[in-house]
A and B are shown apart, each in its own frame.
Chain A
C-alpha cells in the first residue's frame, strides 16, 4: 500500500530529528512504552531509550515547566499533550515561561521547545476532550502556533518546528491522524510561517486551517461545479499569520470567508478579520464572512455536535451568498 498515514508522518519527523540531533527528546504521558495515545512516538523509546523518550507522570504543569528548564540549559524537548486540552493545566508554564521568558530575561535564554498533540472536535468525545486551544494561546507573546492538515505538511512542519529555536505550539487534529498521502522523498521541511495556497481561484478567498481544510475542499468541489471559482488557503501558521499570501489573494478575489473550528468569540477568525480589515479594507468588495463553531461547550450527542461545528454545506451557502451578492 502506498502512502503514509499522518500519525506516521509525524513519527517519521520526530524519529529523523532525534537521529539527527541527540539533544532532541520527547516527554509526556504515555509517549514511551505505550507509544503515544495516537502512536506518534511508537517504538521510539525502544530505539532511543527511556530518557530521550520520557514517560512522565500525569503532571502537565510540572513536565511542561521541566521542558522549559531543559530547553534553557541546552536540550530541545518535544512535549506531547496527550490531548491538547490537558495543557490547560500547563497554561502558566506555556505562557509565562515558554512564551515570555526570553523577553523578560533580556535575551539571556532561548526556549527551543515543541508542544504538540491532538485537539479539535472528534467523534462524540464530549466537551472537555473536544477543545480547540489555539485561540486561547493566541495572545501569548513569543510562541509560534501552527496547525498541520495533511501527512505531507505534518512531517515537514514537525521537522521545522523541532529545528526552530523558538517555542512552537503544534496542533494536530484527532480526525486527521489516519489521512494517507505519498510523502516527498528525503529530508524536507515546510516553512512554519507560510500559508499553503491549496487551490487558486478568482471569485472568493477561503481561509481555513486544520480539519476544516477538508470540509472546505468538499465545499469547493460543489462550488466549482456551480461555476464559483474559489481560492483556498490553508493558514498553517496561526501565529504569525502569513499576511502576504492572504492579502495577495484578497487583492485578486476581493471577497473573503474564514472557516474555523474554534469558537467564534475571541477566535482565530476574529483576529484574522481584524487584521484583514486593517490591511486589506480597500480591496474588499463585501464584508468579510466568518464561519466558526458555536460559542458552547461541544455537546456529546452526535447531531448536536454536528450542529456545533461548521459543515461543508454552510461553506457552500456562504460562498454563494457572498459571490452572488457581488456588492
Chain B
C-alpha cells in the first residue's frame, strides 16, 4: 500500500496538507514491483544520481556557473526511475519538458554531457546550444527537453507513430519501441494533451502519457485549474487505459509502467499514467516558493521516495544501509567529476555560431 511507506506520517493531518495529500493518503496501490537485489540497487543508484545531480545544480546556479531558468526535479525521482527503469534504454524513446535533467540521466545520457550542457559547453548533449530546458540526445533516444508547455506531447506521439509505421507499413515485425512522454499536471489543461490522447488511442500507438502531478503549475494549484483533478480519469473519455499511482513509491510506479509497456508492446495502445508526486523545491531556482503551505511540504517530505526505497530494500533484506551509503559516495564522485569535467570543457567555437541550422551543416 502506497501510504504505508510514509515514515511516521501521523502528526501531519491530510486536511492541512491539502487535497493532493488527501488523494495520496486514500490511494490504494494495486501492485508494487518485486525486485531482486541488483535491480533494487540500480533503482537506488538512479534515484540518488537524480537527487544529487539536482542538488549540485542548485549549488552551481547560486555560484553563478549556470544561467537561465533551471527547474529541478527533487522529490519526483520515483517517476523518472520507475518509468524509464521499466523500459529499454536506447530502444524505447523518452520525451521530457523543461524539467528534464533527471529524465536525461535515467535515459542514460552521461552526467558529464548533461552538466556540460547546463554550463553551455561544447561537450553538452546539445552542444551548449540548448541549455537546461533543451536537453537532447539521439544516441540515448531523448527526444527533448521541450520548454513550451505540452509541445513535447505531439512530438512523442510522432515517435510512437514511427514505431507503428515501421511495423505495419514497412513490415518490420521487430519494431516495438514504446515512447514515454513526461509532463506535468498543469499541462493536462492544454489542448495538445487532449488532441494527442485522442490520436494515440484511435491509432493504438505505443505511448505512455506520464503525468507527474506535483499539484502545482508554478503558482497555480491543480484544483484551481482543472474541473476534475483526477487526471487519470480523463483517459476513459478516450477509451484509453488510465491509472493513478503513488508517485513517491518507485516500486508502485515501476509496476504500473511495466503494465503500460506490456500493453504498448503488444499493440494494445497507450496508457495514461498519473503519478501523484511533489517537488521539494520551488518551480525553478528563480522561484522564492512562498505560496505552498508548510504543512503540505512536510507531508510530502515525509514521503521522500529515496527514503521509502531504502526502507523497502533493507526491510526485505536485499541490501544493508552501508551498501546504500557506498552508492551515495559513488554518486557524489560521479557528480563531482561531471562538474569538474564541465568546468574545464571548451566553450562552443564562435565560428560555429550558425552551424546546425541546416541538416547539411
Interface residues of A (CB under 8 A from B): 22-23, 25, 49, 51-52, 56-57, 59, 61-75, 77, 92-93, 96-97, 101-112, 141-142, 164-166
Contact A22 B170 (CB under 8 A): yes
Closest to A65 in B: B154
B168 within 8 A of A: yes
Interface string of B98-142 (1 = CB under 8 A from A): 000000000000000000000000001111111000101110000
In this assembly, does B196 line the interface, its C-beta being within 8 Å of a C-beta of chain A?
yes
- Chain B residues with CB under 8 Å of A97's CB are 146, 151, 155
A57-B195, A59-B199, A103-B129 are known; give 10 further A-B pairs, CB within 8 A: A51-B165, A61-B192, A66-B196, A69-B95, A70-B161, A72-B143, A73-B93, A101-B144, A105-B126, A106-B124
Closest chain A residue to B124, Cβ basis: A106
B-side interface mostly: mixed
Residues of B in contact (CB 8 Å), total 49
B126 touches A102 (CB 8 A): no
A73 touches B357 (CB 8 A): no
CB-based contact B357/A142 at 8 Å: yes
Query: Quick check: is B157 within 8 A (CB to CB) of the other chain?
Result: yes
Interface residues of B (CB under 8 A from A): 93, 95, 124-130, 134, 136-138, 143-144, 146-148, 151, 153-166, 168-170, 191-192, 195-196, 198-199, 202, 355-360
Q: How far is the CA of A56 from the CA of B128 in the complex (A)?
A: 36
Bound together, the chains give a CA A102 to CA B354 distance in angstroms of 12
In the bound assembly, the distance between CA atoms of A70 and B154 in angstroms comes to 10
Interchain Cβ contacts under 8 Å between A and B, 23 examples: A22-B169, A51-B165, A64-B154, A65-B153, A65-B158, A65-B196, A66-B155, A69-B156, A69-B159, A70-B162, A72-B159, A73-B158, A74-B166, A96-B146, A96-B148, A97-B151, A102-B356, A102-B357, A106-B127, A141-B357, A164-B359, A165-B359, A166-B358
**For B138, what are the chain A residues with a Cβ–Cβ distance below 8 Å?**
72, 105, 108-109
CB pair B199–A62 under 8 Å, yes or no, is: yes
Residues on the A chain within 8 Å of B161, using CB? 66, 69-70, 75
Whether A105 contacts B169 in the complex (CB less than 8 A), given A66-B199, A67-B158, A69-B157, comes out as: no
Whether the Cβ atoms of B151 and A96 lie closer than 8 Å is yes
* Contact among A22, A57, A63, A73 for B159, CB-based, below 8 A: A73
How near does chain A come to B90, taking the closest CB pair, in angstroms? 13
Kindly state the separation between the CA atoms of A158 and B169 in the bound complex, as whole angstroms.
23
Given A69-B159, A106-B128: A57 and B355 interface contact (C-beta under 8 Å): no
